[in-house]
């Protein structure tokens, strides 16, 4: 076979595969272009093309799995293209390697779409389930995948309501944004079923009234959200903060972390921006700097003996304001070994530490730690993270005057249970310190920002987000989003944060762990009901057959 023949054969096979999975590919496009930073224009029908293909083609597990795979591949490529940028910037990979990493990432990261499609189809054929039951399984399995599938960036459809400033987002203090995502999944299932009924009977009345019913449900959530927003506008305390965004480049940060220069210039930039902000705003209660802002160790034992830590102490006494900042931390473990941490510190104007430093718990794989290094030490030599940071002990509270601050660093904000635990520990205000500079001018900064602010609505605690390069902002307990900084520019801003001291626990904060169990119950009941109906239909057919004979 000559080269032209091989190419023609490959081209024909590729076109055939794309045509076979055109609905699944279309769903990937709809989902990818309905997520942050795009408007969620196809939110309620984005999965219909995929699920129609699964239902209309009673195939094997693997054929349906392949359809789901195409959907997740396309949506991941559109929504998470920035993985190539961060691989190049953070992992120091050449662009060809970074693009290969992107392709590997999008080929595997959301495979639960494929597992959901294949699993629902397998149960359908095995148990003779109806189309409606199969759709319930498709939605439930996809929801379970959103919760349990290991992911670097655990997104879901619910965050889009906050992105478009919909009052529906206010109901997240009951459902959580994961719960709102499940509502979107089941809305897609309901519309898919309505479309099938209309297509099979030729009566599009089914599609119209079920579409109106789903729209009515979300309209009800809209007005309920307006009421909930009003409830949380009642406050009894206030905090004025100055947030500093110094826009330090990655090269400077890495060199400073290694002690190879730029420490003094970084320190000077934070000092000068803070002075400038305090000259403009004199009523500040707390100054906040971002993740790893200060290029030195700031544990109490280091403050006198290290030159830059010593400068920090003098600066506190100069401005006479408390500072909450990211920096480096270290302690000695039970074996006497030195452990280094990505830390967060709150120092008073007198130079005294409030509470204990917080050590980051959820570390970024290959960026902040390398897995399996305890078993294979050689990995520290070849990984960009090297030995990396040690892991903290979990959520903790930092007392500040008569208030309590719940600290989180970077993408710890992506895990609802982490912020819920901070609320349980008594946090009045959540503070997130982040460095998104590794992701450059991509949509990641908007996605990360909205997922972080979502924790403020779920727990009904104000959340202050301070970043190195942007987007620095805050959200109040009533869901009001405050001023957003420009990106990639030095900036400072004053935020007045009203809040309720010792605010009550939200329904979500108390009961969020039940959501997976509810989904599992839906799956079990759907299978049992569907199996029972299938047996009844077989029994009726047998009776008819025996009567006719």
**Which of left, alpha, beta for 26 (phi over 0: left; psi -120 to 50: alpha)?**
alpha
User: Confidence class of residue 385 from pLDDT cuts 50, 70 and 90?
Assistant: low
The predicted model gives 154-171 an average pLDDT of: 97
Of the candidate ranges 274-283, 369-378, 424-433, 451-460, the one whose mean pLDDT is the lowest: 369-378
**CA 70, CA 356: separation in Å to the nearest integer?**
48
What pTM, to 2 d.p., does this model score? 0.92
Q: State yes or no: pLDDT of 506 exceeds 80.
A: yes
Start-to-end Cα distance in the chain: 60
pLDDT of residue 173: 97
What pLDDT, in 10s, does the model give residues 200-215? 888 788 788 889 999 9
Determine which one of 291, 412, 421, 458 is catalytic: 291
pLDDT of residue 200: 84
The number of angstroms, rounded, from the C-alpha of 400 to the middle of its chain's C-alpha atoms is 28
**CA 465, CA 495: separation in Å to the nearest integer?**
11
pLDDT of residue 16: 80
User: Confidence class of residue 535 from pLDDT cuts 50, 70 and 90?
Assistant: low
**CA 159, CA 285: separation in Å to the nearest integer?**
31
- In 3-state terms the chain splits into helix, strand, coil percentages (rounded to 5) of 55, 15, 30
Q: State yes or no: pLDDT of 189 exceeds 90.
A: yes
- DSSP annotation of 439 reads G
DSSP-derived secondary structure for 328-353: EEEEE-TTS-EEEEEEEEEE-TTSPB
Place of tokens 């520019």: 489
Its CATH architecture, for the domain 237-505, is 4-Layer Sandwich (3.60)
Burial 64-90 (b: 16+ CB within 10 A, else e): bbbbbbbbbbbbbbbbbbbbbbbbbbb
Q: State yes or no: pLDDT of 311 exceeds 70.
A: yes
The answer to whether the CB of 366 falls within 8 A of the CB of 383 is yes
pLDDT of residue 258: 77
User: Confidence class of residue 158 from pLDDT cuts 50, 70 and 90?
Assistant: very high
Rounded to the nearest 10 degrees, what angle do helices 3-20 and 22-32 cross at?
Answer: 70
What pLDDT, in 10s, does the model give residues 49-74? 999 999 998 889 999 999 999 999 99
Number of H helices, E strands in the chain: 19, 11
The predicted model gives 381-405 an average pLDDT of: 82
pLDDT of residue 185: 98
Q: Which of 476, 535, 492 is nearest to 239 (CA)?
A: 476
The answer to whether the CB of 225 falls within 8 A of the CB of 183 is no
Q: State yes or no: pLDDT of 308 exceeds 80.
A: yes
Domain ranges of the chain: 3-231+516-543, 237-505
**CA 357, CA 61: separation in Å to the nearest integer?**
51
- DSSP annotation of 240 reads E
pLDDT of residue 180: 98
Neighbouring residues of 292: CB distance < 8 A, sequence distance ≥ 6: 253, 257, 326, 327, 328, 342, 435, 468
**CA 88, CA 153: separation in Å to the nearest integer?**
18
Determine which one of 360, 368, 412, 458 is catalytic: 360
The predicted model gives 311-335 an average pLDDT of: 90
User: Confidence class of residue 509 from pLDDT cuts 50, 70 and 90?
Assistant: very high
The tokens describing 199, both together, are: 């297509």
Q: Is 291 marked active-site?
A: yes
Of the candidate ranges 269-278, 297-306, 357-366, 382-391, the one whose mean pLDDT is the lowest: 382-391
Place of tokens 């208030």: 403
Place of tokens 């400073």: 256
Instruction: List the Cα angle 152/523/34 in 5-degree steps.
Output: 45
Determine which one of 146, 410, 412, 444 is catalytic: 410
pLDDT of residue 203: 79
User: Confidence class of residue 303 from pLDDT cuts 50, 70 and 90?
Assistant: low
The answer to whether the CB of 48 falls within 8 A of the CB of 191 is yes
Segment of 155-159, 197-201, 373-377 carrying the highest mean pLDDT: 155-159
Segment of 9-23, 87-101, 239-253 carrying the highest mean pLDDT: 239-253
The predicted model gives 406-427 an average pLDDT of: 96
Express as a percent the part of the chain with pLDDT over 70.
91
Please state, rounded to an integer, the average pLDDT across all residues of the chain: 90
**CA 252, CA 293: separation in Å to the nearest integer?**
11
Q: Is 410 marked active-site?
A: yes
Neighbouring residues of 373: CB distance < 8 A, sequence distance ≥ 6: 379, 380, 383, 387, 388
Q: Is 360 marked active-site?
A: yes
pLDDT of residue 201: 84
Strand arrangement of the beta sheet that strand 286-288 belongs to: 358-359, 338-347, 323-332, 286-288, 237-245, 491-499
**CA 21, CA 24: separation in Å to the nearest integer?**
5
User: Confidence class of residue 425 from pLDDT cuts 50, 70 and 90?
Assistant: very high
Q: State yes or no: pLDDT of 1 exceeds 90.
A: no
pLDDT of residue 259: 77
What pLDDT, in 10s, does the model give residues 8-21? 776 777 788 788 89
Express as a percent the part of the chain with pLDDT over 90.
72
**CA 9, CA 3: separation in Å to the nearest integer?**
10
The predicted model gives 538-549 an average pLDDT of: 57
């Amino acid at each position: 076979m000559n080269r032209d023949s091989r190419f023609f054969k490959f081209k024909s096979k590729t076109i055939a595969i794309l045509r076979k999975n055109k609905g699944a590919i279309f769903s990937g496009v709809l989902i990818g272009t309905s997520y942050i930073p795009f408007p969620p224009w196809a939110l309620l029908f984005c999965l219909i093309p995929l699920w129609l293909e699964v239902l209309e083609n009673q195939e094997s597990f693997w054929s349906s799995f392949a359809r789901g795979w195409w959907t997740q591949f396309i949506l991941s490529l559109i929504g998470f293209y920035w993985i190539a940028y961060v691989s190049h910037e953070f992992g120091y990979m050449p662009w060809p390697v970074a693009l290969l990493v992107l392709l590997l990432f999008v080929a595997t990261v959301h495979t639960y779409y494929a597992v959901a499609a294949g699993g629902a189809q397998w149960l359908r054929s095995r148990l003779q389930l109806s189309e409606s039951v199969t759709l319930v399984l498709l939605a439930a399995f996809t929801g379970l995948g959103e919760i349990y599938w290991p992911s670097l960036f655990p997104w879901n459809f619910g965050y889009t309501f906050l992105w478009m400033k919909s009052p529906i987002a206010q109901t997240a203090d009951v459902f959580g944004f994961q719960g709102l995502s499940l509502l979107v999944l089941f809305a897609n299932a309901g519309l898919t079923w309505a479309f099938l009924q209309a297509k099979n009977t030729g009566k599009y009345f089914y599609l119209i009234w079920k579409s109106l019913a789903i729209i009515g449900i979300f309209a009800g959530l809209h007005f309920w959200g307006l009421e909930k927003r009003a409830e949380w506008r009642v406050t009894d305390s206030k905090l004025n903060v100055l947030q500093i965004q110094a826009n330090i480049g990655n090269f400077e940060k890495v060199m400073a972390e290694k002690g190879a220069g730029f420490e003094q210039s970084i320190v000077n930039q934070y000092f000068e921006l803070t002075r400038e902000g305090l000259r403009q705003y004199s009523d500040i209660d707390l100054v906040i700097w971002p993740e790893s802002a200060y290029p030195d160790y700031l544990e109490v034992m280091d403050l006198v003996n290290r030159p830059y830590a010593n400068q920090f102490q003098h600066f506190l006494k100069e401005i006479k304001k408390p500072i909450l900042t990211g920096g480096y931390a270290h302690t000695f473990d039970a074996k006497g070994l030195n452990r280094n941490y990505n830390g967060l510190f709150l120092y008073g104007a007198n130079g005294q530490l409030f509470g204990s430093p917080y050590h980051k718990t959820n570390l970024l794989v290959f960026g902040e730690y390398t897995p399996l290094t305890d078993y294979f030490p050689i990995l520290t030599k070849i990984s960009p993270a090297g030995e990396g940071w040690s892991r903290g002990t979990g959520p903790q509270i930092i007392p500040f005057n008569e208030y309590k601050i719940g600290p989180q660093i970077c993408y710890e904000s992506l895990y609802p249970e982490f912020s819920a635990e901070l609320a349980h520990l008594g946090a009045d205000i959540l503070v997130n310190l982040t460095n998104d500079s590794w992701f450059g001018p991509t949509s990641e900064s908007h996605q990360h920002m909205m997922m972080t602010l979502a924790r403020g609505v779920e727990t009904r605690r104000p959340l202050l987000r301070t970043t190195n390069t942007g987007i620095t902002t805050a959200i109040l307990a009533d869901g009001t989003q405050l001023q957003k900084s420009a990106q990639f520019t030095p900036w400072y801003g004053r935020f007045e944060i009203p809040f309720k001291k010792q605010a009550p626990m939200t329904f979500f904060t108390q009961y969020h762990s039940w959501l997976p169990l509810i989904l599992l119950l839906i799956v079990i009941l759907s299978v049992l009901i569907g199996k029972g109906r299938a047996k009844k239909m077989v029994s009726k057919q047998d009776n008819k057959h025996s009567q006719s004979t």
